[in-house]
Amino acid sequence: MVTALIPNLIQKYSRKQKSKLPPGPKPWPIVGNLPEMLSNKPAHQWIHNLMKEMNTEIACIRLGNTYVIPVICPTIARVFLREQDAIFASRSLTTCTDLVSSGYLTTILVPFGDQWKKMKKTLSNALLSSHQLLRFHDKRNEEADNLMFYVYNKCKNVNDGVGGLVNIRSVARHYSGNVIRKLVFNTRYFGKGMKDGEPGFEEVEHVDSIFVLLRYLYAFSVSDYMPCLRGLDLDGHQKKVKEALRVIKKYHDPIVEERIKQWNDTPKVDEEDWLDILISLKDANNKPSLTLEEINAQIIDLLIATVDNPSNAFEWALAEMINQPKLLQRATEELDSVVGKERLVQESDVPKLNYVKACAREAFRLHPMAPFNPPHVSLSDTTVGNYFIPKGSHVILSRKELGRNPKVWNEPHKFKPERHLNVSNVVLTEPNLRFISFSTGMRSCPGVMLGTTMTGMLFARLLHGFTWSAPFNVSTINLTESKDDISLAEPLVAVAKPRLAPQLYQL
Ligand code: HEM
């Protein structure tokens, strides 16, 4: 037995000796490259600039005692998430992910292990299967109809032919927020609601708080790399996340508690929404599968998974398309030919709308929601290419640079939906990681069907229902990225004019 182990050890040792870490800046003792990271904010820009200067598509940056491995090349990305997927199936531990997942009870933020397996299986089977997607079609449709009603109301008080000013960021984020609230809680509004379809104070507070969580989950907080600093909240991220969670829980907790009480008093015959499903799931001993803490935490996980990508993609795509009106024209021509002008787009139309889907796909490529994919943490030492990747490394695939890699994409900075039209059915997934939409492998997104449907409907309804242009005094939309992340620096405001019969916009 021992003799059999010796060659293995020698092999492993000599592999370590031969292969070195990916190239990177020389680390300082103990703190590694944290000083450079702190003096070159935002961190994502520093990392990307560093890779450009070093002319490398994979790097190794030591933050405290953690090896952070950014990747901008699809071939290398595929080794991590396809060939060696099982090794890179864990997630990093950060103070903010700990807070948001209530101590790692959920799916997205949870390291590899039994809890992640349990929750991912629950989501995939009980909430996100094609059967469940069909079952809750009408709830999503109510929100797609409300989207039209809401935007139409923004135009209706304006003189004929002038159109109404619409804050696209707000409209798109609230459409996503409405859909997920309707699916989870069977309600659009936490408060009294609004007559013209717009979000009330409660919904604005709710959606804004979800975006605060998204901003800080993996925000290169110095205390995550120097555990001795953990309690100090030097950059203030923990305080902001705690406040956002307080707001979110203020709305969720009473609904969840009341619903559990209802189920305990008299079990319902049928589940009306995802909350009912989560409460009524049973394990092999006919006991509730999920605890109250798991249900509460998992709901927050679902919210953060849903609100950002469709809304960010639409905001960017529309900004790009207003600057290239031929693209808008081509999209509306497709919509008029597939759907006509006598009815609204339905989910069943979306598969036939290749050009509209190509616009969404192009937005995911060129303007992803975040600079990096969530970290994938290695469960053992390994070698990728000729580089040694130690156990515990944080691999961060660059969503920004994979989609703009000039070796893969011709004119990478140009918004050109037609580049995706070389297939008979355009899809939003990209398992080859030439850009990242839903990612691939064990940690890939289980919400592909719902995410594709929501994105397709958001694009198709708004492009079919309205003619879009820049505001009166604006010649072209400013496409500058925000300094902190890669969202549009200023929320897109555009002019909408209804292009269908007035009765089609009514609820
Ligand atoms: C257009 C919409 C969406 C996009 C582009 C998207 C994209 C992604 C990406 C990039 C990841 C990370 C994959 C990785 O770590 O490699 C992810 C994970 C995840 N997504 Fe989505 N997503 C979308 C919608 C949704 C929806 C609607 C849900 C559920 C309601 C959902 C649930 C999840 C979950 C649970 C994970 C974590 C998977 C894991 O860690 O095992 N997503 N998604």
pLDDT 10s digits, 385-401: 999 999 999 999 999 99
Q: Give the pLDDT score at 18.
A: 59
Is there a cis peptide before residue 446, judged by omega within 30 degrees of 0?
Answer: no
Q: How far is the CA of 108 from the centre of ligand 1 (A)?
A: 7
Q: Would you give the DSSP letter of residue 82?
A: I
Element holding 172 (H helix, E strand)? helix 168-185
Instruction: Report pLDDT digits (tens) over 40-62.
Output: 999 999 999 999 999 999 999 99
Instruction: Report pLDDT digits (tens) over 253-266.
Output: 999 999 999 999 98
Nearest Cα residue to 100 out of 237, 204, 220, 245: 245
Q: How confident is the model at residue 10 (pLDDT cuts 50, 70, 90)?
A: very low
HEC profile of 310-324: HHHHHHHHHHHHHHC
Give CA–CA dist 290/107, Å, rounded.
13
Q: Which of 1-5, 125-129, 152-156, 434-438 has the lowest mean pLDDT?
A: 1-5
- Is residue 15's pLDDT more than 80? no
Nearest Cα residue to atom 31 of ligand 1:
447
Assigned CATH class of 115-505? mainly alpha
Q: How confident is the model at residue 294 (pLDDT cuts 50, 70, 90)?
A: very high
Q: How far is the CA of 435 from the centre of ligand 1 (A)?
A: 14
Give CA–CA dist 435/433, Å, rounded.
5
With a 6 Å cutoff on the Cβ, whether 310 touches ligand 1 is: yes
With a 6 Å cutoff on the Cβ, whether 461 touches ligand 1 is: no
Q: How far is the CA of 124 from the centre of ligand 1 (A)?
A: 11
Q: How far is the CA of 307 from the centre of ligand 1 (A)?
A: 11
With a 6 Å cutoff on the Cβ, whether 384 touches ligand 1 is: no
Give CA–CA dist 295/278, Å, rounded.
7
Instruction: Report pLDDT digits (tens) over 87-104.
Output: 999 999 999 999 999 999
Q: What is the mean pLDDT of residues 224-242?
A: 91
Contact 185, 275 (CB under 8 A): yes
With a 6 Å cutoff on the Cβ, whether 445 touches ligand 1 is: yes
Nearest Cα residue to atom 7 of ligand 1:
438
Q: Give the pLDDT score at 1.
A: 41
Give CA–CA dist 152/164, Å, rounded.
8
155 is in an annotated binding site: no
Alpha-carbon torsion angle 247, 455, 137, 264, nearest 10: -20
More confident residue, 160 or 294: 294
- The structural domains of the chain, with segments of one domain joined by +, span 115-505
The mean pLDDT of the chain is: 95
With a 6 Å cutoff on the Cβ, whether 305 touches ligand 1 is: yes
Q: Give the pLDDT score at 269.
A: 83
Q: What is the mean pLDDT of residues 141-162?
A: 88
Q: How confident is the model at residue 3 (pLDDT cuts 50, 70, 90)?
A: very low
Q: Which of 445, 448, 457, 459 has the most ligand 1 atoms within 8 A of CB, as the residue to mutate? A: 445
Contact 93, 111 (CB under 8 A): yes
Instruction: Report pLDDT digits (tens) over 448-475.
Output: 999 999 999 999 999 999 999 999 899 9
Contact 330, 486 (CB under 8 A): no
User: 292 — phi, psi (to 5°)?
Assistant: -60, -40
Q: Which of 227-241, 353-367, 408-422 has the lowest mean pLDDT?
A: 227-241
Q: How far is the CA of 437 from the centre of ligand 1 (A)?
A: 9
With a 6 Å cutoff on the Cβ, whether 87 touches ligand 1 is: no
- Is residue 32's pLDDT more than 60? yes
Q: How confident is the model at residue 159 (pLDDT cuts 50, 70, 90)?
A: low
Nearest Cα residue to atom 37 of ligand 1:
108
Q: Give the pLDDT score at 101.
A: 98
Q: How far is the CA of 276 from the centre of ligand 1 (A)?
A: 22
Q: How confident is the model at residue 2 (pLDDT cuts 50, 70, 90)?
A: very low
Q: Give the pLDDT score at 122.
A: 98
Q: What is residue 90's three-state secondary structure?
A: strand
| Sign of the Cα pseudo-torsion (275, 277, 280, 284, in order) | negative
Q: Give the pLDDT score at 13.
A: 47
Nearest Cα residue to atom 9 of ligand 1:
438
- Measured from the Cβ of residue 186, the count of other Cβ atoms closer than 10 Å reads 17
- Is residue 6's pLDDT more than 70? no
Q: Give the pLDDT score at 187.
A: 97
Which ligand 1 atom minimizes the distance to the CA of 436? 10
Q: Give the pLDDT score at 160.
A: 62
Which ligand 1 atom minimizes the distance to the CA of 180? 30
- Is residue 17's pLDDT more than 60? no
Q: Give the pLDDT score at 19.
A: 83
Give CA–CA dist 45/30, Å, rounded.
23
